[in-house]
Amino acid sequence: MSSTPDDAAENDEETTRVWLVERTYSDDEQNIIILVYATPDGSRYLRKERSLTSFSDVRDTTAAIDTDADHLGTVDDPEERERYAAEAERTREQYDPDDTV
């Protein structure tokens, strides 16, 4: 895939663009959504927990976010890394970074 201006944040040393690869509900607590964003190669991830406090609490979930590289964890499991890479690629193909998903 060739580089585009939208991909610029993916290569910046201070910030990294990560793509939504997983959205699940917490088993431990009610009204918690867990969002997992990953780098296009699936090697790094960011986990965000969002509480749903009310129906009027509207916060969009975008296809991608830019985050500080030091906020990312490492994906050690090769199968999970491959799955994250595939999901990140699918998200990148279907959505622009700021699209609500």
Question: What pLDDT sits at residue 1?
Answer: 37
Instruction: Write down the domain spans for the chain.
Output: 5-94
* Tens-place pLDDT, residues 69-81: 999 999 999 999 9
Q: Using CA atoms, how far apart are residues 13 and 75, in angstroms rounded to an integer?
A: 19
Contact (Cβ atoms closer than 8 angstroms) between residue 26 and residue 33: yes
Q: Indicate the pTM of the whole model.
A: 0.79
* Tens-place pLDDT, residues 19-48: 999 999 877 767 788 999 999 999 999 999
